[in-house]
Chain A
């Protein structure tokens, strides 16, 4: 990679790293793991930067890389045997806000990785169906069906939220 390209990549990474890390955290629910996912996605981006930089939407490209890194990681042997979310520590009972957040993250963690990615991209990142489909590399119909399954699962996992949100 040429020096000017490398400089452009560094500027881009600095400008997007927090946003990417936030998406990564929403996908995996763990800050340490989010750092790893972000760094891995940016390293992948470096490999393809010459081509990505010429596109109009490097953000979409790198977001797709991040989701792929997350899904790859979830399919690995190690991650299938080690729970990314430990049991809540044996500490004093958290406040109500913290407890709600733990419930939500625990419910998301119990979704299949693909369904979790659909929920995060559509409802947390605010993408429409087409954008989500492009980012996940699947058809809009798959996004719709996975969304439906994920919502059904969340309905079972978060019975307390149903009433509040309805």
Chain B
């Protein structure tokens, strides 16, 4: 069978008599075509409006959907996911979608070649992560309240006349004015989160170095020259103390006094600002920078301190040369070193027998949070940080910085398998960029369609 045979076959096929046109086919053609055009225009308009509303809703609504945000959920026992989520620039902000009480605030990123960095808050009740937009681009002088509901922020590189208090329930940030301006380092928050112990130092002598962006300058200068101030964050009332200079502090579990590190000596200080007595910890040791007091109130976490003396000035720093860095002492007999907790960075107390530490997990080759027994037994991993290469556009791993934990939630802490991530709505800048891309894409698609239709029409032109 070839072309001619097919043509002959079809031509020879007996013809069926054609039926008459159905009534109305021609008469109703124009009205039907008009209805078709109206329907198409209406559908196109409705689709456009729906797409714009949907796009605007997704991109611009801070917290869409009917699911109550983490801040609205009633808290149960505080929890920690067994895997801390990786870096994502699409993580929403605290002010857009408050995460509720947090278990930790930390800096996360890497800056070896390209700066990729986030300040993050991890919810204590869900797998919600939010960017701390009140301090978005650097970690540093921050404190998470023991109950995890507020964060106090200062600045590491300039004098401040106020501190910022971020409410993680509402996402709002308020300023609490200080009695005088200076270089401020938040040191401790009372268990109810209402009283802040901070050091303040005159920055005039170090102004030149600050202009050169020398790191940790205020914090180091404060260890020799600062004063300790207790600030009521509700009323703004400040109480001066006689405990300066100060480099570390921690509230007692009942919130009625503090333990304070002043140079190489350790003191108990009352809420009235007066020194009560010296705690005679072993020579060369002092309390950890944060959360030194154990939940029972009986123990203190101590670490080696050293003095750096360069003739014209001095500073007191943690002495990392001493192995087995974190030790414990009892307040009843503080001169005797008791437990040993093998961790790189002490974060807080899980119980009187275990502390929470941050160290590198060499088995998994990533940072991790550990439960570290103070009797010298082997620590166990509670949670690992993401080990993927997500920073610097996939060139580097991300590293956690300046982890601050809700110390009051640690004794009840449970570790749960990491669930679906809640990163909240995209950050405002990315939403705006996505909206621009969406609009430009829609306009481009419309234009392309018009061009293609015009070209298609021309094919039939002579």
Contact = CB atoms under 8 A, between A and B. Distances in A.
Tell me whether A and B are bound partners. yes
Interface of A: 6, 9-10, 13-14, 17-18, 21-22, 25, 31, 35, 38-39, 42-43, 46-48, 51-52, 54-58, 60-61, 64, 97-98, 100-101, 104, 119, 122-124, 134, 147, 151, 154-155, 158, 161-162, 165-166
Given A10-B29, A17-B25, A38-B25, 7 more contacts: A17-B21, A17-B26, A47-B37, A100-B13, A165-B8, A166-B1, A166-B5
Closest 5 CB pairs of A and B: A46-B33, A97-B14, A165-B5, A123-B7, A43-B33
B1 A13 contact: no
B3 interface: yes
Given A46-B30, A60-B460, A162-B1, A101 B36 contact: no
B40 to A, nearest CB: 8
B29 A22 contact: no
Given A101-B16, A123-B7, A161-B9, A57 B460 contact: yes
B36 A43 contact: yes
A8 to B, nearest CB: 12
A158 B6 CA distance: 11
A43 B21 contact: no
B68 interface: no
A67 B395 CA distance: 54
Say which size band chain B's interface belongs to: 20 to 34
Interface in B32-65: 32-34, 36-37, 40
Contact of B32 (A35, A39, A104, A165): A39
A124 B1 contact: no
Contacts of B33: 42-43, 46-47
A162 B3 CA distance: 12
A73 to B, nearest CB: 16
A48 B33 CA distance: 11
B6 A154 contact: yes
Contacts of A158: 9
Contacts of A56: 460-462
Interface string B16-27: 101101100110
B459 interface: yes
Interface of B: 1-3, 5-10, 12-14, 16, 18-19, 21-22, 25-26, 29-30, 32-34, 36-37, 40, 457, 459-462
Given A6-B30, A42-B29, A151 B37 contact: no
B41 to A, nearest CB: 10
B1 A165 contact: yes
B10 A123 contact: yes
Contacts of B26: 10, 13-14, 17
Contact of B1 (A6, A97, A98, A155): A155
A10 B32 CA distance: 13
Contacts of B9: 104, 158, 161, 165
A48 B9 CA distance: 36
Contacts of B460: 52, 55-58, 60-61, 64, 134
A30 to B, nearest CB: 11
Contacts of B14: 97-98, 100-101
Contacts of B462: 55-57
Given A10-B30, A22-B18, A47-B36, A35 B459 contact: no
